[in-house]
């Protein structure tokens, strides 16, 4: 079986997670060794987010916005995530499945088909949107991508089931890359839909497989091929968009819709994501300043964790295991992450002065919780240019004790997941920045 075929079944990914406590399982799979011993960590010096390419130091918010931010954004585009196209001309929305008394009357449920090129036989994605009935309108909202179809986020029987490609999962009975009934409500604990609605927020989601299937050849049936003049025969340039860039692009298209919905306060939309979709949320928040708040949950390497720390998943491992997630240029840094002209504290800094939240889990060593904290902390000097406070701590806060102001952070007990505790913190953070004057 070829490497990419093994990856497509999902067996490689779950093998990696099961064996992330040491190097042997990864080495046995032909992947680079992984360090899980903090005493053995090597960390190269971080690039200075406040120094322009010409060596000039940035000392004002104006210079950051006018010069340094565009410079960093271009480096991330060309060297890591890839360059995505603009909003396609002719994109249209069609609302269906309107239910004004969903979830026992708690919310109005809407399902919106986004025809990404305007063609009914072209690429499309479906937004599942719940708007709280008891909250004032327009309501602030959370938007994120999901892993197993819109039906997986809640047991609501009225949700239309996704029917496209789906990542293999033995627990959910997905072996042929098609959804089963077991996906309905299967990840409801990660979405906490009723909790969000009761706090006065709308919640919206899109199945990431609608945008592009998550395997090395997924682009051939996804949005990247659909928007390329050469379709599945495209020869991608080294700086053209990756899967993560495609998924982030899809989040921006969902935001295009939210701006048209009178029930949604489009000035207060938080973009969020977990794991690889946490990486995606960060890139969406960096490239689309309409997102007023960005949340990264356990996003790790290529997300909130520093590439220059050799702990947990590394640049070499992620590029080998998931070659489609980043642009071709990024693969040049697999064996030399210190050669990358940027690091993830600068990605987080691209949100400034908008609030951003990074969440880690104590047992999620693969995602390098300390590396995530250090990236969030080292974005602070950029926020200071705007008079905003980041994380005023030298070391990570105690477990289950959130810290930070415009840059929020917590590390909770438990594993790689999104829990009710995480959502309480995200909602508190959103309340503070969306509902209180600054």
In the predicted structure, residue 422 carries a pLDDT above the cut 90 = yes
Please say whether the structural domain 70-434 has been given the CATH code 3.40.50.1820. Answer: yes
| Straight-line distance from the first to the last Cα atom of the chain, in angstroms, rounded to the nearest whole number | 57
pLDDT given at position 161 = 94
pLDDT of residue 17: 41
Taking only the tens place, the pLDDT of each residue in 208-249 is: 999 999 999 999 999 999 999 999 999 999 999 999 999 999
Which among 379, 401, 398 has a CA at the least distance from the CA of 388? Answer: 379
- The pair of three-digit structure tokens given for residue 399, joined into one six-digit string: 């477990």
pLDDT at 12 over 60: no
Confidence of residue 7 (pLDDT cuts 50, 70, 90): very low
Six-digit token pair at 27?
A: 């080495």
- Give per-residue pLDDT as tens, 130-157: 999 999 999 999 999 999 999 999 999 9
pLDDT-derived band at 163, boundaries 50, 70, 90: confident
List pLDDT tens digits, range 346-375: 999 999 999 999 999 999 999 999 999 999
Residue 436: pLDDT band with limits 50, 70, 90: confident
User: How far does Cα 390 stand from its chain's mean position?
Assistant: 21
Lowest mean pLDDT among 27-31, 95-99, 260-264, 425-429: 27-31
Is the pLDDT at 401 greater than 60, yes or no? yes
pLDDT of 10 reads 38
265 — alpha (psi -120 to 50), left (phi > 0) or beta?
Answer: beta
**What local confidence, expressed as pLDDT, does residue 32 receive?**
77
Tell me the per-residue pLDDT of 300-340, one tens digit each, with 9 for 90 and over.
Answer: 999 999 999 999 999 999 999 999 999 999 999 999 999 99
Q: Where are the beta strands (DSSP E) in 116-180?
A: 124-132, 139-146
Sign of CA dihedral 165, 242, 89, 205: positive
Q: Which of 376 and 29 is assigned the larger pLDDT? A: 376
d(CA 31, CA 20): 12
Q: Give the residue with greater pLDDT, 9 vs 342.
A: 342
What SS3 class is residue 161?
A: coil
Q: State the DSSP H helix or E strand holding residue 266, giving kind and residue range, or none if neither.
A: strand 264-274
Per-residue model confidence as pLDDT tens digits over 34-57: 889 998 999 999 999 999 999 999
| pLDDT at 1 > cutoff 80 | no
- The pLDDT tens digits of the residues spanning 184-203 come to 999 999 999 999 999 999 99
pTM for this model (two decimals):
0.94
Q: Where are the beta strands (DSSP E) in 25-172?
A: 92-101, 107-115, 124-132, 139-146
pLDDT digits (tens, 9 = 90+) for 271-311: 999 999 999 999 999 999 999 999 999 999 999 999 999 99
Q: Where are the domains of the chain?
A: 70-434
Distances (CA, A) of 289 to 5, 132, 268: 37, 25, 11
Which one, of 299, 306, 300, 310, lies nearest residue 36 by Cα?
310
pLDDT at 5: 37
**CA nearest 84: which of 237, 295, 206, 272?**
237
3-class DSSP state for residue 131? Answer: strand
- Closest by alpha carbon to 359, among 429, 290, 307? 429
Catalytic residues: 275, 416
Q: What is the mean pLDDT of the chain?
A: 93
């Amino acid at each position: 079986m070829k490497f990419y075929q093994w990856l497509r079944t999902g067996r490689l990914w779950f093998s990696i997670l099961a064996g992330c406590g040491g190097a042997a399982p990864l080495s046995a799979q032909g992947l680079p060794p992984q360090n899980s011993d903090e005493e053995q960590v090597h960390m190269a010096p971080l690039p200075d987010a406040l120094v322009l390419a010409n060596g000039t130091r940035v000392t004002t918010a104006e210079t950051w916005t006018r010069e340094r931010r565009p410079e960093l954004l271009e480096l991330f585009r060309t060297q890591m995530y890839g360059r995505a196209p603009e909003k396609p001309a002719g994109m249209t929305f069609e609302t269906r499945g309107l239910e004004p008394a969903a979830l026992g009357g708690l919310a109005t449920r809407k399902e919106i088909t986004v025809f990404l090129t305007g063609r009914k036989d072209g690429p499309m994605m479906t937004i599942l949107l719940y708007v709280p009935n008891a909250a004032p309108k327009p309501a602030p909202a959370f938007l994120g991508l999901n892993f197993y179809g819109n039906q997986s986020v809640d047991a609501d029987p009225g949700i239309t089931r996704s029917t496209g490609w789906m990542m293999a999962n033995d627990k959910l009975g997905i072996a042929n890359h098609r959804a089963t009934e077991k996906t309905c409500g299967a990840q409801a604990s990660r979405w906490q839909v009723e909790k969000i609605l009761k706090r006065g927020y709308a919640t919206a989601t899109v199945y990431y497989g609608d945008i592009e299937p998550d395997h090395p050849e997924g682009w051939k049936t996804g949005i990247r091929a659909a928007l390329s003049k050469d379709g599945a025969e495209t020869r991608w340039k080294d700086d053209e968009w990756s899967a993560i860039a495609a998924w982030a692009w899809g989040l921006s298209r969902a935001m295009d819709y939210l701006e048209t919905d009178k029930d949604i306060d489009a000035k207060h939309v938080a973009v969020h994501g977990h794991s690889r979709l946490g990486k995606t949320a960060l890139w969406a928040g960096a490239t689309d300043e309409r997102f007023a708040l960005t949340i990264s949950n356990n996003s790790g390497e290529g997300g909130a964790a520093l590439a220059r720390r050799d702990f947990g998943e590394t640049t070499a491992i992620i590029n080998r295991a998931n070659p489609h997630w980043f642009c071709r240029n990024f693969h040049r840094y697999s064996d030399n992450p210190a050669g990358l002209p940027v690091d993830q504290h600068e990605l987080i800094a691209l949100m400034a002065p908008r609030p951003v939240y990074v969440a880690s889990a104590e047992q999620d060593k693969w995602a390098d919780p300390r590396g995530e904290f250090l990236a969030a902390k080292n974005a602070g000097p950029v926020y200071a240019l705007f008079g905003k406070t980041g994380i005023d701590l030298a070391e990570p806060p105690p477990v289950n004790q959130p810290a930070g102001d415009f840059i929020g952070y917590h590390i909770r007990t438990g594993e790689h997941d999104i829990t009710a505790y995480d959502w309480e913190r995200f909602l508190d953070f959103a309340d503070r920045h969306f509902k209180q004057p600054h």
